[in-house]
Amino acid sequence: MVMFLVILGLLLYSYTYLLREKFNTKGNLLEFLALVIGSLLTFYLNNYLGWGAVIASAAVGLAGGVLPYVKPNSQAMKSAALAIYCGSFVGMASTFLFDEIHYIFIASVISGLFYIYTRGLFIGYGGKLGSVAFSGVLATVLLFMLR
């Protein structure tokens, strides 16, 4: 496990180094955190408060979507809104699939990494955010559940 994490860390570092012109560390960190928070919040509302996947995700997405109106000229708020919306798709997973809370955390971290590394691709195509969320969930299921 430790070995795996070390290799993963080095791999991510090398990617970041190779793509460093396109990177903006502070902005990416904000997006990453926004995605993880959006996902955990949706998961909580969806499963523990029983709101159901659609209402929980739409409510969290809408709350995130209002952020750019709070500070209209801020690019960071716009990207955070998108990241929260993407995170809310990860949180639509149910407790049947992720029966322990750390799985959803891992899924959102993987989705967050995918999100950051696929920035700038497929802008304006419907379904991109959902696919990023799905890849994170699928990676978690493949890593931990199909043993």
Partner 1 sequence: MIEVSLYIVGLSAAVIAFILNNNFKLGIVIGSALPSLIFALILKAFDSYLPDLFTTEAPVIFYGAAFIGMASNKILSSYSLIAVGGLLFTFIYLFTASYFEGFGGALGTTAALCFLPVYSLQIILSKR
Contacting residues toward partner 1, per CB under 8 A: 39, 52-55, 57-59, 61-62, 64-66, 68, 81-82, 85, 89-97, 107, 111, 123-138, 141
The answer to whether 31 and 120 have CB atoms below 8 angstroms apart is no
**CB 99, min distance to partner 1, A:** 10
The answer to whether 86 and 115 have CB atoms below 8 angstroms apart is yes
**CB 141, min distance to partner 1, A:** 8
Nearer to partner 1, 3 or 80 (CB): 80
**CB 110, min distance to partner 1, A:** 11
Nearer to partner 1, 28 or 91 (CB): 91
**CB 86, min distance to partner 1, A:** 8
Nearer to partner 1, 23 or 139 (CB): 139
Place of tokens 């750390």: 102
The answer to whether 81 and 31 have CB atoms below 8 angstroms apart is no
Nearer to partner 1, 5 or 123 (CB): 123
What letter does residue 143 receive in the DSSP assignment? I
**CB 71, min distance to partner 1, A:** 14
Nearer to partner 1, 28 or 47 (CB): 47
How far lies 9's CA from each of 4, 14, 77, 102, 112, in Å? 9, 9, 28, 19, 14
CA torsion angle for 104, 109, 113, 119 (degrees, to 10)?
70
- Among residues 86, 74, 100, 77, the alpha carbon closest in space to that of 36 is found at 86
